[in-house]
Structure 1
Amino acid sequence: MSAVPQFSDTANTAGQALHLLQTVFGYPAFRSQQAQIVEHVAHGGDALVLMPTGGGKSLCYQIPALIRSGVGIVVSPLIALMQDQVDALAEVGVRAAFLNSTQSFDEILAVEKKMREGELDLVYIAPERLLTQRCLELLEIVEIALFAIDEAHCVSQWGHDFRPEYIRLSLLHERFPRVPRIALTATADQQTRDEIIHRLQLGNALQFVSSFDRPNIRYQIVEKANGRKQLLDFIQAQHNGDAGIVYCLSRKKVEETADFLNEHGITALPYHAGMELTERSRNQARFLREDGIVMCATIAFGMGIDKPDVRFVAHLDLPKSIEGYYQETGRAGRDGATANAWMAYGLQDVVQQRRMIDESDANETYKRVQGVKLDAILALCETLQCRRMHILEYFGQPSAPCGNCDTCLHPPTSFDGSVAAQKILSTIYRVDQRFAAGHVIDILRGIDTERVQQWRHTQLSTFGIGAEKSEAEWRALLRQLIAQGLVTVDYDNYSALILTEQSRAVLRGELKVQLRQYKKADKAVRHKRQSAKDFAETELSSNEQALFDKLRWWRVETARTHNVPAYVIFPDATLREIARQSPATLTALRGISGVGDKKLDSYGAQLLNLIQSQMSPSST
């Protein structure tokens, strides 16, 4: 039998929902719009839910599935994480299982039998499995409480995580018109929202859009000089010993970056689609279960990762869109403690991303949309204003400067860059728009290279007119001109720089150009930060801290015994509160957020013994 109360009707939905939240999941109250979403879906309504990573999206379908009669079907692309999701639900007494390609036929038969006999509360199914005739026929004979379509942005052809199978999920509405559906995602601009509604036939669904703000994340974008060295300095100065994720564009760069960090004493693991599945799964498991691991990965890694204590997300290459950047950085600081989103960005990033769009086999409409998304992320990198404000406004949420990102803490300066722009544009024009950035900059700086001599470019009127600036300064200025659409790159002609129609107005003096003042990349500064550990040190007394440390060691051993990540047993926030309150009875322990009935039964006595042993005189 399930440890979860089973409800046969939805007469008192609000009361049932709150009871489940408190007794099963151990939380005292709903956050944000959770209560409204739960009640709406429990009563049979469809919903589109946009809620930031760590905002509690899963409760929005888990609780309605427990209230309604039947089994909740969760469509999810996260095959590698389904076991952890099911284990986490088992820890709180929810009967859950999954169906995906990793299982044997006998394992699949066992789950299907439980579904037919009404012995499961939730089943996670990969979209590929769901769309098979066998699975659809099974669903026809099973009582279904609801369909939850997780990571719903995967339906968007314009998105960063497009899954072709998601487009076919409209059949859920066609074949099961009376079953409520809830689509959930952490990232979707208006265009993606519209596509989710259209493709999933959610025209009558209520939309619940929570604030996109993650105030505990500090955004920082630095001028790329030596990316790996800058990354190492950043980690050593601010996140030594912390868990983090480093995103790279290519598989080769992932491997090289992991090797580089390991050579410098930082435990780093690679993760990309080109690795053997067993090695990839092993590395993911280590990242989830061990402390202080840095995962170097392509964007193939991270969606659905619930690890709460990721203290930083770093990008060594420019993401393709603000949606991708926001979702990837959102994997940091899920526990609410402060975290960093750090990126190193340079001219080559702009050139590389534009080339990838232009050289793709996609149609012109797709290329145009991706070009607009790239322009948006470039604008974020080059902005003179608050980065958080820029991100939130992209998602349609007006805000004020945050005072916590790099542009707020160290405001950049801008200047009238019209003359500098004219120097660059004139040089591009005088070399007949046939040469790449390096050659153009050599001419500007008056560098008499063999190639410059070969083409007699020392005779140009622009030769040496920019000698006062370094190569890095000219690259930064050229990058901004490309970002502003004044210069493009001809990838079919050795990345030659090309003038645009708009650039001619600059050359004629009819259009002013405002540019960001170049600032040499600073060495990462070691400063006091508030990670989860720091919170414990500042909020807890010495005795409380000692108990907190003992609880964390107990959690490690318990998680190892259960073969689950440590945070599945209890998150740091719950252990910290236990250490602070030092409850002496099960009733008092039950009052702490994160301690539900099942966990109280499983671990209550052990926790009270630990607390008592720490409080006794012999332990001091």
Structure 2
Amino acid sequence: MDVTHADPTHVLQSVFGYETFRPYQEPVVQRLVDGGDALVLMPTGGGKSLCYQIPAMVRDGPGIVVSPLISLMQDQVDALQQVGVKAAVLNSSLGRKEREAVEHRLTAGELDLCYVAPERATRDRFKTLLSRARPSLLAIDEAHCISQWGHDFRPEYLALADLRGDFAQIPCIAVTATADPPTQRVVLDRLGMTDEDRFVAGFDRPNIRYVVEPKGNRPRQQLHEFIEREHPGQNGIVYCLSRNGVETTADWLTDHGHTAVPYHAGLSDHKRSEHQDRFLREDGLIVVATVAFGMGIDKPDVRFVAHLDVPKTLEAYYQETGRAGRDGRPATAWMAYRRGDVVRMRQLIDDSAENDEHRWTQRHKLNALLGYCEAPDCRRKVLLNYFGEDMGGDTCGNCDNCLRPPDTWEGTTAAQKALSCIARTGQRFGSGHVTDVLLGKDTEKIQRHDHDTVSTYGIGADRSKAEWRSVLRQLVAKGMVEVDVMGYGALTLTEDCRPVLKGRETVAFRDGAAASASPNTTKTATDDPLPADGPERELFEALRERRTQIATDQEVPPYVIFNDKTLRAMVEHRPQSKSDFRALHGVGDVKLERYGRQFLDTIREHT
């Protein structure tokens, strides 16, 4: 399907089967079509891919998409080919003849999109190919990997700045769902972009319920009870810190009636590929994994993401939980939190840090995550605040703290002491030093800076070091204090702290800084909109069976044929003709011709 120079909205409707653009998609698409650049921050499932796929199809030449995971490129290409887009991968999974065939199509102008790994994209040979192919744009997926301030820095991404410079005449788009303000700044600078090129669509995923439970002595039993209560028989991901934790948890869940498989870097390539393929193609499967699993996973109907161990950063947590509910339907992000686990995480950071600067960065990002776990405030508000976004209220009504407010203690005086100490020491020091000043410690650093003479020296001796560390973390979570990650973790005050310092507002801290118990939830939050039985359910299951059959024959995940949202639209509208079928969400011209008759036959059989 050739849509070169076509109107982007026409491409959206005729190729992808969507009536209108989502918020922020249209201005980004138009900017690229017009030859401009863009850094795009959208939540997982927000439609980032269309922002570069449509311009690549409309502009002359192939779009080059740099993606970090070879294992998932083919799934993205499969989905594009389903709607008639000429797409291919160029990576180490191809044999010599296959690679040469793709290279020929690339330089011959026979591709709309070509997906490539960063290691290959920066080689001189590939740059020569691009010079002959005259690409329409350069798209960099998971762009936060460019920044050492990000949670998932990858050195091979640094060379993309040179690639960008070599092809500065074509538009460049960098997309990510997880980048705090310092990370955004580095990405802009390294890719030669300005603030005008930044498009932030927001980080909120309102369909996800955030829950943090205190981690008891039997965390796997807690996980089992959560799954049975909220998501029995549904797709999910469980993250564990170690490979051994992954293996034992997967076995434990299997022994307790769940269908679960492990995924970690210690498994063979064949076994990892097998388990990933099962997850993409099967229903009701739980993958228990280390952080090696998940980036780029497009499976729309993951109903829960659980953490049995705390992740290293809020960015990692946000990215991992964002793999739930990509279809927009209710999902849950569940985490078991125990402060003792943090000691192990800090040790991992210290052991793996490349230098002191990296160690400082990761430690303070971990502190931000702990502040999220300990805060008595709305989880969503804390999370969005970290990414520089204002939720526009104090409660979301869809997290454990909002559904069941935790016990708190009146902490206005403690907050004033901590805020004043940050101010009196010049807003140039991290939480460790500020805590030492509050406690009246006699350290070399305090002596060197004469901080034993400031008015806040020793005013916090009534509380322990751990309590003050928690107070400072919760003040960060509340947005009253910021951590200057690029300035070695210095704590700085924000305007939000002023009413507290002046005594016009009070502050409450979580009692004991422990996570709340699991909220009393009801199944309505995750209910399927279709009835459990009856004609509608029968039709839906028949449509799913038809979809599975087609997907199996083509060896692709079922959701690339049609996602559940489109199947539900079939149940709701009961189309009887091709024109009726074409009007459904997610049905473009190519899918109408390929699958319209088969699904219409199934609908007629059940009408």
- Asked whether 1:170 is paired with 2:161, we answer yes
TM-fit CA distance, 1:536: 2.1
**Is contact 1:92–1:599 with CA below 8 Å preserved after alignment?**
yes
Percent identity at matched positions?
A: 51
Distance 2:281 2:465 in 1: 45
Helix, strand or coil at the partner of 2:262: strand
Q: Give, in angstroms, the shift of residue 543 of structure 1.
A: 2.6
For residue 482 of structure 1, report the CA deviation from its aligned partner.
5.0
CA shift, 1:158, in A, is 2.4
* Residue pair 1:160, 1:321 contacting (<8 A) in 2 also: yes
Q: Distance in 1 between matches of 2:372 and 2:40?
A: 25
1:71 and 1:388, CA in 2 relative to 1: closer, same or farther beyond 3 A?
Answer: same
Following TM superposition, by how much is the alpha carbon of 1:159 offset from its aligned partner in structure 2, in angstroms? 2.0
Measure how far apart 1:157 and its partner are: 1.2
Hey, what's the Cα distance between the residues in 2 that align with 1:403 and 1:480? Answer: 28
Once the two structures are superposed, what CA deviation does each residue of 1:241-296 show, in whole Å capped at 9, x if it has no partner? Answer: 01000111111111111111111111111111121111001100000100011111
Report what 1:81 is aligned to: 72
Counterpart Cα distance in 2 of 1:395 and 1:204: 16
Distance 1:72 1:593 in 2: 26
Are residue 516 (structure 1) and residue 511 (structure 2) matched? yes
- Following the alignment from structure 1 to structure 2, what is the Cα–Cα distance between the partners of residues 564 and 215? 30
The CA deviation at 1:177 is: 1.6
Are residue 405 (structure 1) and residue 399 (structure 2) matched?
yes
Q: Distance in 1 between matches of 2:270 and 2:49?
A: 28
Alpha-carbon RMSD across the aligned residues, in angstroms, is 2.6
- Paired position in structure 2 for 1:321: 313
Q: How many residues align?
A: 528
User: Could you list the per-position Cα deviations for residues 414-452 of structure 1 after superposition, in whole angstroms to 9, with x for gaps in the alignment?
Assistant: 126999xxxxx9xxx9xxxxxxxxxxxxxxxxxxxxxxx
| Cα deviation code 1:347-396 (max 9, x no counterpart) | 22221122223334422221111122111111100001100000011111
Q: Structure 2: how far apart are the matches of 1:366 and 1:229?
A: 36
| Partner SS, residue 58 of structure 1 | helix
1:527 equivalent in alignment to 2:519:
no
1:530, distance to aligned residue in structure 2 (A)? 4.4
How far did 1:203 drift? 3.2
For residue 583 of structure 1, give the secondary structure of its aligned residue in structure 2: coil
Query: Is 1:578 matched with 2:575?
Result: no
SS at match of 1:327: helix
Tell me how far 1:483 sits from its aligned partner: 3.8
- TM-score by structure 1 length? 0.81
Q: Distance in 2 between matches of 1:513 and 1:205?
A: 39
User: In structure 2, what is the Cα distance between the partners aligned to 1:301 and 1:59?
Assistant: 24
SS in 1 for 2:169: coil
Task: Tell me the SS of whatever aligns to 1:567.
Answer: helix
Q: Per-residue CA shift, 1:127-169, capped at 9, x if unaligned?
A: 1111222211111111201000011011111222221111110
Aligned to 1:351, the other structure's residue is in SS state helix
CA distance, structure 2, for counterparts of residue 276 and residue 256 of structure 1 = 17
2:593 counterpart of 1:596? no
The 2-side partners of 1:523 and 1:416 are apart by 23
Match of 1:6 in 2: 3
Cα gap change, 1:485 to 1:590, in 2 (>3 Å): closer
Contact 2:122-2:163 at 8 Å conserved across structures: no
The answer for the alignment partner of 2:498 in structure 1 is none
Task: List runs of 5+ in structure 1 lacking aligned partners.
Answer: 420-424, 430-476, 487-501, 503-511, 616-620
Matched, 1:367 2:362: no
Q: Indicate yes or no: 2:173 matched with 1:182.
A: yes
The 1:485–1:252 alpha-carbon spacing in structure 2 relative to 1, beyond 3 Å, is farther
**CA distance, structure 2, for counterparts of residue 386 and residue 524 of structure 1:** 13
Indicate conservation of the 8 Å contact 2:374/2:513, yes or no: no
Match of 1:344, SS state, is strand
Q: d(CA) in 2 for partners of 1:405 and 1:320?
A: 21
Which secondary structure state, in structure 2, belongs to the residue aligned with residue 407 of structure 1?
helix
Q: Tell me which amino acid in the other structure corresponds to 2:81.
A: A
Amino acid at match of 2:236: G
Q: Partner letter of residue 231 of structure 1?
A: L
Instruction: Please tell me whether residue 310 in structure 1 is matched to residue 305 in structure 2.
Output: no
Give the one of 321, 324, 328 matched to 1:336: 328
2:85 maps to a residue whose letter is V
Correspondence for 1:194: 185
**1:547 Cα deviation from its structure 2 partner:** 1.5
The within-5 A match list for 1:30-429 is 30-203=21-194, 206-225=197-216, 226-399=218-391, 400=393, 401-415=395-409
Distance in 2 separating the partners of 1:520 and 1:88: 41
Which one is further off, 202-211 or 345-354? 202-211
1:346 to 1:265, Cα distance in 2 relative to 1, 3 A: same
Q: Give how far 1:107 is off.
A: 1.1
Distance 2:518 2:362 in 1: 33
Answer with 1 or 2: which has the greater Rg: 1
Q: Structure 2 CA distance, aligned partners of 1:480 and 1:407?
A: 20
Query: Which amino acid is the alignment partner of residue 162 of structure 2?
Result: L
| TM-fit CA distance, 1:204 | 7.0
Q: Provide the secondary structure at the position in 1 that maps to 2:48.
A: coil
Answer yes or no: is the 8 Å Cα contact 1:153–1:187 preserved in 2: yes
8 Å CA contact 2:376, 2:509 repeated in 1: no
Equivalent AA in structure 2 for residue 390 of structure 1: V
